[in-house]
Amino acid sequence: MNPSSLAGHTIELLDRVVRSSLPSDRVVSDFYRERRYLGSHDRRWITEKLYGILRNFILLRDISGKCSQGSNPLNTFLSYEIGIASTSVDELNLNYSQLLDIYRMTGEKLGLEQMATCIANRLQEVKGNPSDASLLYSFPDFFSGLLPENIRPEAIPIMVALNREARVCIRVDLNKIRRDEVAGKFRKKGIETEPAVYSPMGLYLPRRINLNNEELYRDGLIEIQEEASQLVGLLLNPKAGEIIVDACAGAGGKSLEIAALSDGQARVYALDVDEARLRILRTRATRSGYTDISPIRIFEDGLGDAASLIGTADKVVVDAPCSGSGTIRRNPDKKFRLTKSVVEKYATHQETLLRRYADLVKVGGLLVYSTCSIFADENFGVVESFLAADARFVREDISLLLSESRISDLIENGFLAIYPHRHEMDGFFAAVMKRLS
């Protein structure tokens, strides 16, 4: 497919992503499913352009609004090519001649020379103004203010790190195979992996691959799971015979990890409001051989059938829905969808979930709260508010539960606090609380 056609597809897909309320990866997947004629090279070209634009979207929206006839998908694409990809006007006219001719025929005025000059001037202006740092890195201007106070001086390195493409991490089921053995099997296929630093189960792939084609995956020996997320399983340290509840299970990544860490000997209950995600969990559990996981559908306003677990669980993990600010590397569209009110709503909902699922923990049991957010209100704020309202629980120091020296730099005041610029993982937070009465 020629560059003009590829650019046209990219512009159409960008328009879909911006208009949709769905995550960008879901929109992209649906787009390609409708266009089976796009080959792997075409999809790679389109995807790389799209995510380059999404990572810079707030800045591009500003530039195209000031330097063109409006911030529409075409002008956003051209602003990216000129301002970020450093494509010259001559190259634009050569590479995308058919596309530009089509737009000109519709009456679109494309003064590329003037546009390029304006973009260069605007970028110089933004780069020279320290107060425009958020705009330069395409983050909302309130982003830094939502970070914990002690980390705010590092806001720019955080934004830089979140603008980098995330690596793909897999979790190896150490009950069934050694991590170095998995690495060796990939090496025989010409794929060099890298062991995770903090998780003994983690292994990084050098690029995205279709795991459905991998025997290791089909046999349930590996699963995709971000390294930071894997640390929750280590925190739980599941034992044979324990009742462990994964209260916001989703498609079951943590439930599967808990089952694997206990060699299938813990009684795992996976709760979620979405039956479709629980069906995915059942399929994954069957593939991995951990069929003792019990999925339970619950409802937004209560425990439903999970009420039978009240006061029985040795450990409950509430990996709460959140802003996903720590996963912006994977979901750059979160940046321009983010608002302060969204974060406030998440924090309120997270505390509601903690209070609801705290009742499942038995006396002496542990309640683990985690998010993939780096915002104070969703993390420290939720835990402090919960503990102030529920005298049955006290906070446990995570350093007593994760005592390995390599993990010590992830612990801040007894919490697990992971930041992408420091640790090269998704931003992540976890707290552990013990029920005393």
pLDDT in tens, 47-79: 999 999 999 999 999 999 999 877 789 999 999
**What pLDDT score does 105 carry?**
58
Cα distance between residue 16 and residue 33, in whole Å: 14
The answer to whether the pTM exceeds 0.85 is yes
CATH superfamily of 228-435: Vaccinia Virus protein VP39 (3.40.50.150)
Residue 107: is its pLDDT beyond 60?
no
Domain limits, the chain: 3-138, 168-224, 228-435
Cα distance between residue 399 and residue 405, in whole Å: 10
pLDDT band at 111 (very low <50, low <70, confident <90, very high): confident
**What pLDDT score does 413 carry?**
93
Cα distance between residue 328 and residue 163, in whole Å: 7
φ, ψ dihedrals at 186, nearest 5°: -70, -35
Element (H, E) at 265: none
Instruction: Tell me if 355 sits within 8 A of 433, measured CB to CB.
Output: no
Residue 90: is its pLDDT beyond 60?
yes
Q: What mean pLDDT comes out for the span 261-274?
A: 95
* Among the four given CATH numbers 1.10.150, 1.25.40, 1.10.940, 1.10.3470, the one describing domain 3-138: 1.10.940
Burial of 352 (0-12, 13-18, 19+ CB in 10 A): middle
With pLDDT > 70 as the criterion, what percentage of the chain qualifies?
98
Tokens found for residue 95? 């590479």
How confident is the prediction for the chain on average, in pLDDT?
A: 94
Burial of 53 (0-12, 13-18, 19+ CB in 10 A): buried
Q: What mean pLDDT comes out for the span 192-221?
A: 93
**Fold assignment, 168-224:** Alpha-Beta Plaits (3.30.70)
Q: Tell which wins on pLDDT, 316 or 97.
A: 316
**What pLDDT score does 208 carry?**
85
Compute CA 227 distance to the chain's CA centroid, rounded to the nearest angstrom: 12
Tens of pLDDT, residue by residue over 367-385, are 999 999 999 999 999 999 9
Tens of pLDDT, residue by residue over 146-195, are 999 999 999 999 999 999 999 999 999 999 999 999 999 999 999 999 99
Element (H, E) at 209: none
**What pLDDT score does 212 carry?**
86
